[in-house]
Structure 1
């Protein structure tokens, strides 16, 4: 009952953050906060340098009300316009730590070469399907999915029917050997809560070539250090590469 009463005290309000700046140095106000006789707010550094030496110099007292506002304040992530719904404490390092790794930050480039589009991870798949006509292949965890990929196709999008998490199957080619390298990354709005492994294998039941790879969140740079390598002579009769892809969640 007590927890419900505490939760009911919280509300959402709009606040212009510039009012939480020192009126003297324009620095960010953090407790202790001071106020002079004319109502101007000052940080503790400015208050120390302006301690009154005469009656003509205004004195400063603690502004406990404003301190309580600052201590209880949570503000939205700066990437809220891109879809992040996180509210973070105004004080401390929570904002910087979150925004450094926020998956909604628009710093991921499109997977397609020569495309300059940038967006958060969660918006890349929408861009791929809308602008590049990439088809989404649906799968269930622990169940192999058979896919055929043209040697010239750079990627396939895989979406888990269980939780809607998006993955990208990369197809890169070694120009010297013409071997194809396949790997999987997670391209969803947030990191999966559990460790996920991808298992890649040639679809031909008579060939035992497979690779189990930890799936990492796409960071905009490298997909993985491990690849399933497929030589050209393993192409199917239709000229495509037939694979079995499965995602496994670590307990």
Structure 2
């Protein structure tokens, strides 16, 4: 049994020069496609070692940067279908078999992303956005006429109603931002909002969206995204990126 495997980064239609990833990068051609790969030791990238390594955040961060570095360079030069992080095959023949079996799927994806790039949009709202609930809760103070228990319950109900109204308004704002940007994109999707510990921000993330945009509409998309903030909502635009959200296929 070989002590090395074949790590796959991405699939494209043509070969371009690119930097090292988790190891020196080379290409495997087949079925009119090109897979970008590295030879990696199974002592590190085999099934059992990977199970342990994926729990090591430092190892995962280094590996992810190396993986994305390759994908980004290839995607800048040619339509590209990224493969999921740490996808490892037993040998080159298995990769050639993948290209043969999934040829039509890969070609469909590559046609879909041709001339398009992915933009990310995150919308945040600060704690002050819930302040209307506090004001609504104060309205019940006038009902306190010798019945402190009743008055408290009335204020509590008013506060809860105000908070629910504020929540609906905030979520409606996120829906509006997503719908507006989706109208400018060839495809869009909403990812799960990130926890503040992951986003590195104290504000609540309302929207974590990805948008596949024609290259000729980049400026229009960026300008529109920038115009959708305000009133306590901050819109943050990132990209352009390789189209990860619209191309990754299950390769097993």
* Bucket of the pairwise TM-score, normalised by the shorter protein: under 0.3
- TM-score w.r.t. length of structure 2: 0.22
Task: Return the TM-score normalized by structure 1.
Answer: 0.22
Larger of the two Rg values belongs to structure: 1
Q: Relative to total residues, which structure has the larger helix share, 1 or 2?
A: 2
